[in-house]
Amino acid sequence: MSSTLTISQQIRAPVARQLDLLETDLVRAYASEIGLVSAIGDHLAAMKGKRIRPMLVLLAAEIGRPDGAVSRKAALAVEMIHTATLLHDDSIDRSHLRRGLPTVNRLWNDQVSVIMGDHLFCKAFRVLHDDGLFDVAAVLSAGSDQMTCGEMLQMDLRRRYDISEAAYVEMAKLKTASLFGAACEVGAMIGGLGDQERSCLRSYGEGIGTAFQIVDDVLDFIGDASVMGKPIGSDLKDGRITLPLIAALREATAEEADRIRGAEWEEVVRFIKQRGGVEYAQAIAVRLAQAAKAAIAGFGACPATNSLALLAQHLVARNT
């Protein structure tokens, strides 16, 4: 059967029904008596994402014996938190395109985008509290707190061409991997798994989250904007120095490094490719994905763990 399914379909297969129901949950969560909220909600629902974070909750839960309604509620909260950060990122970056559609700040304005993001943040915790899912809320608020610390760290490191690979990885871990890790941990809790399995799944999530961010940063240099549904080159434009450039600069002479700081986009991309920055970053991402797979190898084969292993490979091989 698997030969007729795309890799994405194979990955989502064990929780496909749950993911379909999640789409309805999202539409319902975005509905509001306030016209503006419900109009934006419709737009967000149409802006279909990859739903990676909620899928992590559902797959991790599926390893154990989850209550389906509870894992879907946690998946809903994780996706709302993620969407809140997208609304804020697009607004402060003045981005006009996301997932192939105009952004909320483009269709409405920055103010609306920021406040709608706040609304989703608060509502995400509210839906968990309303259902008494306090341990889930605790893990997700800690993960979200780390995520925002990562975003602050990223701004602190802006235009710092001298940042180390370690500082970059630490930032990527906080900014992206902490929510991936929290999503997996929450799934493990809902599946009723033990402390050790919970910690393994968290490691898995953090590993693929860091790898995911590195690949994102690579694609911002070499991706195809039409495939990704958003423009490339925004990291460098905003002074975010990422792994492909960090690695390339390590191989450069002092004069070359000086020149690159003031160089045009095309020259920077050429420099990174010549100095092996893309391959280096990709290799680090692959290594992280392998380590993530190893972290859950002890669970033995089941549809959910197979999907998680496949997802780890797929995320580092993606072009979108």
Question: Which residue, 139 or 289, has its beta carbon nearer to its own copies?
Answer: 139
Taking each helix axis as running N to C, give the angle between helix 52-63 and helix 303-317, from 0 to 180 degrees, rounded to the nearest 10.
150
Using the structure block, give the residue that is written with the tokens 């700081």: 261
Question: Whole-angstrom Cα distance, residue 198 to residue 124?
Answer: 22
State the residues that interact with its own copies by CB under 8 A.
32, 34-37, 84-85, 88, 91-93, 110-112, 114-119, 121-123, 125-126, 129-130, 134, 137-138, 141-142, 144-145, 147-149, 151-153, 155-156
Q: How far is the CB of 111 from its own copies (least distance, A)?
A: 4
Q: How far is the CB of 191 from its own copies (least distance, A)?
A: 21
Question: Whole-angstrom Cα distance, residue 242 to residue 159?
Answer: 10
Which token pair is 284? 């680090």
- Position 97, amino acid: L
Question: Which residue, 9 or 111, has its beta carbon nearer to its own copies?
Answer: 111
Query: Residue 101 — φ and ψ, nearest 5°?
Result: -120, 160
Question: Which residue, 44 or 309, has its beta carbon nearer to its own copies?
Answer: 44
Q: How far is the CB of 219 from its own copies (least distance, A)?
A: 22
Question: Which residue, 111 or 319, has its beta carbon nearer to its own copies?
Answer: 111
Q: How far is the CB of 172 from its own copies (least distance, A)?
A: 14
Question: Which residue, 26 or 284, has its beta carbon nearer to its own copies?
Answer: 26
Q: How far is the CB of 141 from its own copies (least distance, A)?
A: 4
Question: Which residue, 241 or 289, has its beta carbon nearer to its own copies?
Answer: 241
- Reported residue count of the chain is 320
Question: Which residue, 10 or 144, has its beta carbon nearer to its own copies?
Answer: 144
Q: How far is the CB of 154 from its own copies (least distance, A)?
A: 9
Question: Whole-angstrom Cα distance, residue 319 to residue 310?
Answer: 16
DSSP three-state, residue 7: helix
Q: How far is the CB of 253 from its own copies (least distance, A)?
A: 30
Which token pair is 106? 């483009």
- Beta strand 101-102 with 97-98 is antiparallel
**How far is CA 306 from its chain centroid?**
20
Q: How far is the CB of 226 from its own copies (least distance, A)?
A: 27
Question: Which residue, 144 or 282, has its beta carbon nearer to its own copies?
Answer: 144
The C-alpha angle with vertex 79 and arms to 147 and 287, in degrees rounded to 5, equals: 55
Neighbouring C-alpha atoms within 13 Å toward the C-beta of 32: 14
